[in-house]
Structure 1
Amino acid sequence: MSTPGDSIPTETAPYAELTCRDVKANPYHFPERHLFRGATYNGVPVLNLPVSADPVTHIKRIRKLSMRDDDVIIVAFPKCGTHWVSEMLHMLESGSTDYATQPKEFAMVEFTDDLTQLDQMASPRLLNSHLYIAHLPEQVLEKKVKLIHLIRNPKDCAVSLYYHMKQHSPELFNFDNFVRGYTTEGYTTMSHQPNYLRQMAEFEKDNPDHPIFHIHYEDLKKDPVSILQELARFVGVEASQKLCHDIASACGFNRLKQADTRRDLPEHLSKRFTNGFNIYRKGVVGDWKNTFTVAQSEMFDQFMARQEAKGLHYNFRWQ
């Protein structure tokens, strides 16, 4: 996390001086790639990234990426609607309802094995990332790159993340184990949504003039046309009400899910997930009620109460 007066922390010790402890005991049976292995960079846990370089080296390269004045980056904790908003942005920028020819993983900075590919993208670049601010390019701050920040009801987010992980997980990994591991500090490499939101709020506090547009998943489900109109103004494109209506329709869950089946992942990701990887499940609001037991919900509420006591800074659309 950043410290007061230092919104994007300075570089810490090089990777050679960072000692990654062995994978600790895994009582909740999480997929190993989601376990925290002890490596941090700029005070933030390093994700176990699906790239050829070791993760810290890859983060160091990302930090040095050159940014453009008209870049836009979607920043979000996983399962908050990144695919959805990425497609909407593409359509706003193109002024049409034609789907992007490639899925958003091609523009996801931490999943890009060869970062020079990002330099070859035409402007304006629509990038996306689940990385903490401390791991994004340094020039994000220097050039005041526009950030689109997505927020989702924590219980719906957790359920969606569980089913995402479940696709490639040990047999004993169930939802009860997920809730226990997710609410245990330092257990998973991505930590949890409240920690992500807390660092974003800290960045905003330290940089009040940085252009950030917040989108609540639930608001986008309820009134996508209004959000699209605001989003168009934020990124500086013309968008008629009809175009926004058409985009909202084209980006309905089932239509977007179908469009994504016709697009291939980058080769290095396809090799990693040989059995495929389904990004879409339900895309509805309030589905957590169909998954959490009363006991699990109470456990999660206690977890959220602890997080709120630390300060979360963002209101949720609880449903």
Structure 2
Amino acid sequence: MSSVEEAKIATGQSTNGTTEKSVQKSEPPELPTPDPLNPFHFPDFALPTGIMFNGAPVMKCPVKDDSLTHVQKIRALDMRAEDILITAYPKCGTHWVAEILHMLTSGTSEHNRRTKEYTMLEFCDDLSFLDTLTSPRVLNSHLVMAHLPTQIVDKNVKLVHVIRGPKDTAVSMYHHLKQSASDQFTFDNFIKGYVTGEYIVFSHQFEYLRQMAQFERAHPDQPIMHVHYEDLKQDPSSVIHELSQFIGRPASPAFCHEVASACGFSNMKKADADRTMPESLTKLRTSKLHLYRKGIVGDWKNQFTVAQNEMFDEFLAQQKQKGFGFEPKGHV
């Protein structure tokens, strides 16, 4: 070997003129120990509390009281006959319907300056705040009926139940939770955990739909309007007109169209940037949650892989055997 070649090897340069990196053995990175209670890496706030009340699991409420105490207070909350309560599984369009009802009850197409969390029962840090609101109050909640005020039945409160296709709901929920989760919380992990119903505090969508159907069967005289997200996307003015009739605030076709335009996705997203959020929530986050992503029907096709879709279809088949409760209009 020539002295030139020896020099090249010594400096890490190959004999054919290219530079080679020195090979160094390194230990593989140490992976975090898997959490047996959270193997799919769901964000902490979404995990089950392990607390039961009135036959249903208690969700984590971001309020000053412990979650069980807060839910018990909600159960005993004074309701008014004029109240309107939006009930929906998360990520089914609660913000959208809340804004529409705000406009119908106020008689204006101006956006609410507050986020719907101010009147979201499980997020309302001081429930006495609700007493300061004028009627008709537009309240909302993701809680199951077993945790909502008993006076809903006593006062014959109007319920607006929002339903969305299960695959779009799942995709929207994943992106919502992902904002507070680690990089290990992948969509594949989300689907695996979601279909079990064991790793998310409010279980999966069909558990919610079944308990809602059970409530309706037990209270056939309760005024309930079921709003499908897909119908609201396809013909918003017609659904808004039906809502106005249901809440006893008949609106003209022109005003319904005006509300539909003001509550379009881009306008809602723009308005949300200037809304105020309850202090109890702002303390929990250094940045604001992005609540509006795409708002389209069928976006699940852009997210699911073939294998994930097959897994979810098997889950849907199992749920259909148990009974959906309500038949969603999305892909089932």
Query: Is the TM-score greater than 0.5?
Result: yes
Q: Give the Cα separation in 2 of the matches to 1:318 and 1:215.
A: 13
Tell me the equivalent position of 1:267.
279
How far off its partner does 1:81 sit?
A: 0.5
Extract unaligned runs of 5+ from structure 1.
1-22
Tell me the equivalent position of 2:164.
152
Q: Give the Cα separation in 1 of the matches to 2:81 and 2:231.
A: 29
Tell me the equivalent position of 1:256.
268
What number of residue pairs does the alignment pair up? 297
Q: Give the Cα separation in 2 of the matches to 1:25 and 1:72.
A: 38
Within-5 A mapping of 1:1-319: 25-319=37-331
Conservation of the 8 A alpha-carbon contact between 2:40 and 2:193: yes
Q: Give the Cα separation in 1 of the matches to 2:200 and 2:118.
A: 25
Q: Could you report, residue by residue, the CA deviation over 1:37-88 in whole angstroms, capped at 9, with x for unpaired residues?
A: 3111111111011111110000000111000010000000000000001010
User: Percent identity among equivalent residues?
Assistant: 54
Q: Give the Cα separation in 2 of the matches to 1:214 and 1:150.
A: 6
Q: Secondary structure at the match of 2:184?
A: coil
Q: Could you report, residue by residue, the CA deviation over 1:165-203 in whole angstroms, capped at 9, with x for unpaired residues?
A: 000101100000000000113221110100000000000
Following superposition, which runs of at least 4 residues in structure 1 exceed 2 angstroms of deviation? none
Q: Give the Cα separation in 1 of the matches to 2:59 and 2:170.
A: 18
Q: Give the Cα separation in 1 of the matches to 2:69 and 2:107.
A: 38
Q: Could you report, residue by residue, the CA deviation over 1:271-296 in whole angstroms, capped at 9, with x for unpaired residues?
A: 10112211110000000000000110
Q: Give the Cα separation in 1 of the matches to 2:147 and 2:49.
A: 17
Tell me the equivalent position of 1:12.
none
Tell me the amino acid that sits aligned with residue 227 of structure 1: V
Q: Which moved more, 1:73-82 or 1:180-189?
A: 180-189
How far off its partner does 1:24 sit?
A: 5.2
**Larger C-alpha radius of gyration, 1 or 2?**
2
How far off its partner does 1:132 sit?
A: 0.3
Q: Give the Cα separation in 1 of the matches to 2:66 and 2:196.
A: 26
Tell me the amino acid that sits aligned with residue 144 of structure 1: N
Q: Give the Cα separation in 1 of the matches to 2:198 and 2:180.
A: 21
Conservation of the 8 A alpha-carbon contact between 2:42 and 2:199: no
How far off its partner does 1:304 sit?
A: 1.1
Q: Give the Cα separation in 1 of the matches to 2:156 and 2:78.
A: 13
Tell me the amino acid that sits aligned with residue 233 of structure 1: Q
Q: Give the Cα separation in 1 of the matches to 2:240 and 2:206.
A: 26
Conservation of the 8 A alpha-carbon contact between 1:49 and 1:55: yes
Tell me the amino acid that sits aligned with residue 195 of structure 1: E
Q: Secondary structure at the match of 1:214?
A: strand
Q: Which moved more, 1:179-188 or 1:108-117?
A: 179-188
Tell me the amino acid that sits aligned with residue 267 of structure 1: E
Extract unaligned runs of 5+ from structure 2.
1-34
How far off its partner does 1:318 sit?
A: 2.6
Q: Could you report, residue by residue, the CA deviation over 1:125-181 in whole angstroms, capped at 9, with x for unpaired residues?
A: 000000000000110111111000000000000000000000010110000000000
Q: Could you report, residue by residue, the CA deviation over 1:188-227 in whole angstroms, capped at 9, with x for unpaired residues?
A: 1110100000000000111111100000000000000110
Q: Give the Cα separation in 2 of the matches to 1:306 and 1:226.
A: 34
Q: Give the Cα separation in 2 of the matches to 1:188 and 1:238.
A: 39
Given the superposition, is the C-alpha separation of residues 300 and 93 from structure 1 closer, same or farther in structure 2, using an over 3 Å criterion? Answer: same
Q: Give the Cα separation in 1 of the matches to 2:217 and 2:313.
A: 27
Q: Give the Cα separation in 2 of the matches to 1:186 and 1:315.
A: 23
